[in-house]
Structure 1
Amino acid sequence: MDCGHTHNNKNFFQHWLNILKSNFKGLIFVGGIVVLSMFFASNQTIRESTHLAATAFAILIGAFLSPIFFKYQHTFQAGVHFSAKKLLRLGIILYGFNVTLTELAGVGIWGILISLIVIVAIFLIAVIAGPKFFGLDKETSMLVGAGSAICGAAAVLALESSLKSDPFKGVMAVGSVVIFGLALMFLYPILYAAGLVPNLDANGMGVMMGATLHEVANVAGAADMAKDMAQGTFTQNAANVAIIIKMTRVIMLVPFLLIVTYLFVKNQEEEKGKTKKTIQIPWFAFAFLGMIIVNTYLSKIADETFVGAITFGDIISAGKFLCVLCIVFSMAALGLQIDFKKFVKSGGRAFGLAFCLCLILVVGGYFLTLAFKGVLW
């Protein structure tokens, strides 16, 4: 029995050692981009001049270095793929450390309703307009729609993982969504500070940011810039409203993935007859919800001691840091996989759809926010 147990342990460690060896060079390459990105994001001078988060720096640096990746793809592929897929899922799970059930309850049914309207409308427009007006296939249209409607790159990659679609479709969708997410992140604070968003106070602008910006990082960045540019008229409370509305959209990723993947697989089976695809259940999304529940409990006992001098608050802080680290790793890997030649050749149509959805988010989001005056702000 002991010999068998020892043999099993040896196989287990050998398995993980092989994974580490195969991924090592790629992880080191991606890790270098991550260190550089986090340095830029933490440097006060750079941060004040760009207002970009580490995730944005990671994807930009990754995209800049993508020719190196494609030149030595056989060496770096495994580690880059591991970062883009496995570490992203871990990052999404750990994102639960940023939200509590109490915060979600703060926006109530109205916050859920405005999030639901944005997600359903933008996704349906993408699915219809993508194939009809932009000549895109259904999967790419769905990916661009998910990224625009829910939470940017994370939603694109989560849906791509569930649909088991061609990775290049995900790269095209993410590239398009990230560009417009960054553009709106700068545009919203500038418009608000210049007084060009009529009839919206700080909290109203916070609702619009949370309901229409692509990435969580975009919302956080736009809120920070608005506080700087608007000289105190955009408050911390408005920033909190923006984040909570945004996180309500993020949480809807769970039922969204289940419904869309089920309908997509069912449709594929009907079209192809003999071909049967299994539904890829997004377990990581359920783990994300579980982590929110854990974080809600830990937040109540944050000052209590866990082990030695370590408090439960320290565990929450560590979880948030690991979340950022995993997502920055996945964004860097994503940037590295952007093939500009292919993007120029066939990504223009995805770019066009993302631009169309961006305009709808801005204009439609503004009037939708006005419609919720008196209940959300």
Structure 2
Amino acid sequence: MNTAAAHLNPLPATTAKGGTPTVARLRKLLPGLALTGAIALVSIQMGNIGWLQANGISALTLAIVLGMVVGNTVYARMGAVAGDGVTFSKANLLRLGIILYGLRLTFQDIGNVGWAGVAIDATVLCSTFGLACFLGTKVFGLDSKTAMLIGAGSSICGAAAVMAAEPVVRGRAEQVMVAVATVVVFGTTAIFLYPVLYHLNAQYHLIDLSPSAYGVFAGSTIHEVAQVVAAGRVISEQAANTAVIAKMVRVMMLAPFLIILSAYLSRTPEHKASALADGKKAGIVIPWFALGFVAVAGLNSLALLPAAVVRHVTDADTVLLAMAMAGLGLTTHVSAIRKAGMKPLALAAVLFVWLVCGGFAINAGITYLLG
């Protein structure tokens, strides 16, 4: 290009070809964002169906399932065009969604369950994750990443915890999907099992279990928030409210859990090798989105934001998380899950038994000591 031509066309070459680098990047993302957005909106609408709500099947679960259906059928023909946006959804939008998830919590929730409730949640979390790591690698022969992802989902808050732990653990899409699948299977089982156990106990007077105590038990041991709500409402509104509060305190432990996990993994040879393979330094991965999650929860605790604003942002957050789940589903192949075999499901089953039996023992013991 000569000088005269340069004066006539002073814009960058990328602009002359169709926009600035930012605009070009946005154009590459749009097809994938549109696809995950469409799946998310369909999932949210389906999540409003009464039967699905009553059975604790949330929009996030539906987004994963629909994403897998599309991902294993027609997505192969559009992956080249939509791939960037899909990756952006399951990585960047997920982090933003986790941060805004803090608007569902307040620090006052901790006071509502007391120190006993906090101790119960912390003990259930640590024992379940520890069991997952030990049994997953030593007994079932799973790789440590899959075991940790299954442990995160079982011990904290289901699919959201699995997705939040993925960048810290450096898990692959199929490992994440296997972990999410186990959460869906056993979390859904809990919706039906817990009320049955409550009514059997009430009929035979085995132990003294009030609706509030049942709520803490359900909130501290069932996987997903939606599943906790469903299992609580079957008993009573009081049980549901207590269950949700206990669950939210457990969710609040996600941030310190990720920081501690990252600090531990930074010292392991496997993590260092994985980081070097990715061309990154083998140090502590600070999950800034987890810190943002705590900061937003703290802001929400001050009650400075109007209720309408919180409601609208929470609705938007549901869309972001559903898009992230859709992105995960789109990039997960059924063949990868089949290849994983029955071992992940067996580990999740053992953890589920622990959550029901061991979790109840933890509830009873700590309530006796601190309640």
Q: Which of the five TM-score ranges fits, normalised by the shorter chain?
A: 0.7 to 0.9
The answer as to whether partners of 1:126 and 1:141 remain within 8 angstroms in 2 is yes
Change (3 A) 1:371 1:202: same
The equivalences for 1:1-377 within 5 A come to 14-44=20-50, 47-48=53-54, 50-68=55-73, 70-72=75-77, 73-193=79-199, 198-199=206-207, 200-224=209-233, 226=234, 230=235, 234=236, 236-268=237-269, 277-297=282-302, 299=303, 301=304, 312-373=306-367
Tell me by how many angstroms 1:273 deviates: 12
Distance 2:332 2:171 in 1: 16
Q: After superposition, give the CA deviation of every residue in 1:241-289 in whole Å (9 maximum; x if it has no partner).
A: 2112111211111111111111111122798699551221000111111
SS, match of residue 332 in structure 2: coil
Distance 2:102 2:300 in 1: 7
Tell me by how many angstroms 1:182 deviates: 2.1
SS, match of residue 284 in structure 2: coil
Bigger Cα displacement from structure 2, 90-99 vs 363-372: 363-372
Distance 2:51 2:229 in 1: 18
Distance 2:201 2:115 in 1: 30
Bigger Cα displacement from structure 2, 172-181 vs 126-135: 172-181
Which amino acid in structure 2 is aligned with residue 346 of structure 1? A
Distance 2:28 2:216 in 1: 45
Tell me by how many angstroms 1:347 deviates: 4.2
Which amino acid in structure 1 is aligned with residue 287 of structure 2? P
Name 1:306's counterpart in structure 2.
Answer: none
The answer as to whether partners of 1:69 and 1:336 remain within 8 angstroms in 2 is no
Matched residue pairs, number?
349
Change (3 A) 1:17 1:59: same
Q: After superposition, give the CA deviation of every residue in 1:36-68 in whole Å (9 maximum; x if it has no partner).
A: 2111222346545x4422122222222332313
Tell me by how many angstroms 1:69 deviates: 5.4
5+ residue gaps, structure 2: 1-10
Which amino acid in structure 2 is aligned with residue 177 of structure 1? V
The answer as to whether partners of 2:109 and 2:249 remain within 8 angstroms in 1 is no
Percentage of matched positions with identical amino acids: 34
Q: After superposition, give the CA deviation of every residue in 1:208-249 in whole Å (9 maximum; x if it has no partner).
A: 11111112222123223x1xxx4xxx2x23222211211121
Bigger Cα displacement from structure 2, 358-367 vs 70-79: 70-79
Tell me by how many angstroms 1:319 deviates: 1.8
Distance 1:97 1:270 in 2: 32
Distance 1:150 1:45 in 2: 25
The answer as to whether partners of 2:71 and 2:332 remain within 8 angstroms in 1 is yes
The answer as to whether partners of 1:207 and 1:376 remain within 8 angstroms in 2 is no
Computing the radius of gyration from Cα coordinates, the structure with the larger value is 2
SS, match of residue 179 in structure 2: helix
Name 2:6's counterpart in structure 1.
Answer: none
SS, match of residue 68 in structure 1: coil
Which amino acid in structure 1 is aligned with residue 224 of structure 2? E
Tell me by how many angstroms 1:121 deviates: 0.7
Tell me by how many angstroms 1:70 deviates: 4.8
CA RMSD of aligned residues (A): 2.8
Distance 2:28 2:39 in 1: 19
